[in-house]
Amino acid sequence: MSETSEFTKRLKQLIVETCNIPDAPEDVPEDAPLIGPDSPLDLDSLDAVEVVVAVQKAFGVRIGGEEGAREVLQSLRTLAEFILREQNKR
């Protein structure tokens, strides 16, 4: 399993805990939409704000601006890749 795949599992757990998702599906495809009506986690825009804050606290990366956040929060994979890329810049 790749570094990104392992990291997405950890990230999913953080999101489930942060957004208090009681019945989160076990298997969330890494490319599934993270936010919106097609999200398997059923996350909305308020959840997106909570996810951004939790990610910034947990991983020390800054997700800036509405457009940047929208791109980064497309899926678990895009979020994981962003965090890993930002951490590798240090």
CATH at 20 = 1.10.1200.10
**Global pTM value:** 0.89
pLDDT higher at 8 or 31: 31
* CA–CA gap between residue 89 and residue 34 (Å, rounded): 25
- Structural domain range at position 39: 3-88
Give me the number of domains the chain comprises: 1
Confidence of residue 48 (pLDDT cuts 50, 70, 90): very high
> What is the tens place of the pLDDT at every residue in 54-77?
999 999 999 987 778 889 999 999
CB 76 within 8 A of CB 34: yes
Instruction: Write the secondary structure of 4-44 as one string of H (helix), E (strand) and C (coil).
Output: HHHHHHHHHHHHHHHCCCCCCCCCCCCCCECCCCCCCCCCC
